[in-house]
Amino acid sequence: MATITCTRFTEEYQLFEELGKGAFSVVRRCVKVLAGQEYAAKIINTKKLSARDHQKLEREARICRLLKHPNIVRLHDSISEEGHHYLIFDL
């Protein structure tokens, strides 16, 4: 029997179709379950990242939190879990 692991991300968001893909990440449409709001989840596989890449990821999240402009997608949430980091942006 398979074990289902519940995490903060899987408790709060439901994933849907893939919107894009890169070397270390994939972007998928997601919905915040309680609010019904749609977002884009950038899912980074942190197992493949070096220590320097981890620092860059944290820097990206910090910078995205500060950006407030009508032409830049807003970062709503940043969730770090075992093996993956999730950046939740406007869709």
- Which residues contact residue 77 at a Cβ distance below 8 angstroms, ignoring those fewer than 6 apart? 86, 87, 88
**47 in a labelled binding site:** no
Edge-first strand listing for the sheet containing 37-45: 13-21, 25-32, 37-45, 84-90, 75-81
- Known binding site: residues? 42
Q: Which residues fall in the annotated binding site for ATP?
A: 42
